[in-house]
Chain A
Amino acid sequence: MVDKILAEYGAVVLDRNAKRLVVQVDDKQLRPLAEKLFESGFYYANGVGVDERGLGHDFAMYHVFASEKDKLYLVVKVSTSNLKLPSITPVIPGSNWAEREAMDMLGLEFEGHPEPERLILPDDWPKGVYPLRKEFDYNERPEFVERKPESTPQRTDVVQLPLGPYHPALHEPEYFEIHVDGEVITDAKYRGFHIHRGMEKLAEGRLTLNQVPFLAERICGICGFTHSIAYCQAVADAAGLDWPERAKYIGVILLEIERLHSHLLWVGVVFHLLGFDSGFMHMWRIREKVMDIAEALTGNRKTYGLVLIGGMRRDIDESRKNWVLKTLTELREETERVSKDIFGMKELINRIKGIGVLPKEDARALGVLGPVARASGIDTDVRRDHPYLAYDKLDFKVPVYPEGDVLARLLVRYDEIIESFRLLEQALSEMPQGDVMIEDYTIPSGRVGLGATEAPRGEDVHFVITGVESKVYRWHPRAPTYNNLPSVPIMLRGNNIADAPIIIASIDPCFSCTDHVAIVRKGKVIWKGPLGEGVKQVGR
């Protein structure tokens, strides 16, 4: 089916394997092709601008589309010699941020973009300096320009309520400006990217291929390991490496341990936000044992540091297997027992039922991912749709709830906790013997690779172009909150102000991963320009 569409728009196949396809199209064909792909079930997964002058080409934009139905990642490349490209945001809203990111970082121009404003670079960053161009050194510090203070006009018709820049529960910098009419939220704006860390530049400029996994693991303070796996899978994809079976099972075990502790942490935080601290304590009591398992298996509670391009650095100690299995069984029973008591508390359930609703259509247009998508009736899971590691050999269910409210998001994650226990039991008992690492490999340069994993918060997509001398030419990780955050303003509208913290927390946001400003209403961008301007627009 895809091939037919691609042929129709004159796409040239550059590289293909069973899981992903790289094609190049003419810039005139890009927008109609993107529209067609969106109509036939693809969502927008990642967008990467690349300065390809070092490879003997021009500048290029790689749009990555994904389809659960076709079980395929489709990488569409468009080149430009004059920095101008057509924007596809008018046909796929999900590409909004990715295009603006390429604008900021590389100086590409997207014609027809509804909101061509800065996203990532701060206001005091000089114009015309593009950090991801190759001539910009990783340790260069440009002269900052004077920043004009924003005059935020006070509105008299609505009350503007700032939430942030630190979230009361998540201790991370984000800023929501909430407009309320009485108790009811009429609109919300998000502003972020306060903590962009320039990781891509660091990786391209200073690190070697096998050092990047350790940086990738630090993208997130909770689910970092899945990033390091996604990166290594991307390089392995570019070089055509296939890990030993045992390494794949170890990967699954650690990823599911990570999901368990991440979900248990989130459930705890949600209870805490609801003022239900004993539930919070119980969840974190259980989680602590999961951390112990991680520590025993990897040498650390959180940063496992176990993966390199060729596979796993260390094997799992077989003598600990029985202890791990026994502990997991106990923890599962404990989780089920405690949760039964908690779900039996009607006041708690009624508190989160029917609030923060995200309709399915909005979710899809924005490319919402992971548990947030599954709670809005979208049946998606990278582990099942684009199997990696050993997931194709394991049996698990993908929970989907159609309600789209905070309760549904809780239930999805609860079901996933139970499924993770099942996956762990299977993987630990079925794990084959053998090597855990391939030592002998060469990485060809100038090759495109894609790695995708189902992180606890949704799909992580890492895009890599290999370079010379054991370096990455380009690395672009995309964390799930990048896609999920734009849906929060939709969830907030029409709800009571008292529900805002729990609604924001319900996407399990991770700002340091995302760090990126968008104002979206019903999937459409309603505002362009600085925040102060945006405030003026609302209510018109």
Chain B
Amino acid sequence: MGRFGLIFKSIAKGRVTEKYPFAPIELPEGFRGKPEIDPEKCIGCGACATVCPPSAIQIHVDEEQGYKTIDLFLGRCIFCARCEEVCPAEAIRLTKEFELAAASEEDLHQVVKLKMAKCAGCGRPFDTVRHLQFIAEKLPEEQKPMLALCPDCRAKLASKILTVAARRHR
């Protein structure tokens, strides 16, 4: 058939180019588009920032004001969905949105600002209130007071308890 076969084929197939952007494009379930953080749900644990391969998510701590910010910059995002996979609060998820052109770089940032709790020992803000609440729900009652302390003070207290216990033992 040679070339005539191809000509018939073309006529039979007609136009195959999608109408997009004049008509919406169909996307399958599970398509990995723009990630979105739900500021209501995010507890500021920072797990997403740790796994994010290109560091599209960055955490900043403002000790003076007592805030932690989770800053997702879409300009760096590679849409891998690792963040969605590790988020313990199901706060970040990938949407089907893929049209990300923006007039300014700022429009590509999503920032979640969370209040931090101050350490009952040294007074330094050390973790977000929401994250502590999230952990508290999973802890047994007797261990909850420990959550009021920052990791440094917690370690000091623990070693104090141990020394006291050791002395008693003697």
| Contacts from A to B (Cβ < 8 Å) | 207, 210-211, 214-215, 218, 278-279, 281-282, 285, 288, 295-296, 298-300, 303, 305, 313-314, 317, 337-338, 340-342, 344-345
The answer to whether A342 touches B6, judged by C-beta atoms less than 8 angstroms apart, is yes
* A300, A337, A344 — most chain B CB neighbours (10 Å): A300
Interface check B32, CB cutoff 8 A: yes
- Give the distance in Å from the alpha carbon of A285 to the alpha carbon of B54 in the complex: 33
**Number of chain B residues close to chain A: CB under 8 A:** 26
Q: How far is the CB of B93 from chain A (nearest CB, A)?
A: 12
Interface check B53, CB cutoff 8 A: yes
Closest A-B pairs by Cβ, 5 of them:
A341-B5, A344-B2, A211-B53, A299-B32, A214-B53
Q: Which one of A210, A295, A298, A341 contacts B6 once the chains associate, using CB atoms below 8 Å?
A: A341
Q: Which one of B10, B31, B82, B85 contacts A299 once the chains associate, using CB atoms below 8 Å?
A: B31
The answer to whether B6 touches A299, judged by C-beta atoms less than 8 angstroms apart, is no
Q: Which one of A210, A285, A296, A300 contacts B32 once the chains associate, using CB atoms below 8 Å?
A: A300
The answer to whether B1 touches A299, judged by C-beta atoms less than 8 angstroms apart, is no
| Contacts from B to A (Cβ < 8 Å) | 1-3, 5-7, 9-10, 13, 16, 27-32, 51, 53-54, 78-82, 85, 94
The answer to whether B6 touches A279, judged by C-beta atoms less than 8 angstroms apart, is yes
- Give the distance in Å from the alpha carbon of A278 to the alpha carbon of B5 in the complex: 12
- Give the distance in Å from the alpha carbon of A322 to the alpha carbon of B30 in the complex: 18
- Give the distance in Å from the alpha carbon of A313 to the alpha carbon of B28 in the complex: 18
**Which residues of A lie under 8 Å from residue B31 when comparing CB positions?**
295, 299-300
**6 A-B contact pairs sorted by A residue (CB < 8 Å):** A214-B53, A278-B6, A299-B30, A314-B30, A338-B6, A341-B1
Q: How far is the CB of A254 from chain B (nearest CB, A)?
A: 14
Given contacts A341-B9, A344-B2, contact A305 B80 (CB under 8 A): yes
Given contacts A215-B53, A344-B1, contact A303 B6 (CB under 8 A): no
Q: Which one of B3, B10, B54 contacts A345 once the chains associate, using CB atoms below 8 Å?
A: B3
Number of A-B contacts (CB under 8 A): 68
Q: How far is the CB of B34 from chain A (nearest CB, A)?
A: 13
Which residue of A has the minimal Cβ distance to B55?
A: A206
- Give the distance in Å from the alpha carbon of A20 to the alpha carbon of B30 in the complex: 38
Chain A binding surface SS class: helix
The answer to whether B53 touches A207, judged by C-beta atoms less than 8 angstroms apart, is yes
**Which residues of A lie under 8 Å from residue B5 when comparing CB positions?**
337-338, 340-341, 344
* B2, B3, B7, B53 — most chain A CB neighbours (10 Å): B53
Which residue of B has the minimal Cβ distance to A211?
A: B53
The answer to whether A305 touches B6, judged by C-beta atoms less than 8 angstroms apart, is no
Q: How far is the CB of A42 from chain B (nearest CB, A)?
A: 36
**Which residues of A lie under 8 Å from residue B29 when comparing CB positions?**
317
**Which residues of B lie under 8 Å from residue A340 when comparing CB positions?**
1, 5
Q: 18 more A-B contacts (CB under 8 A) besides A214-B80, A313-B85?
A: A211-B53, A214-B54, A214-B78, A215-B53, A295-B28, A298-B30, A299-B30, A300-B31, A303-B78, A305-B79, A305-B80, A317-B30, A338-B5, A338-B6, A341-B5, A344-B1, A344-B5, A345-B2
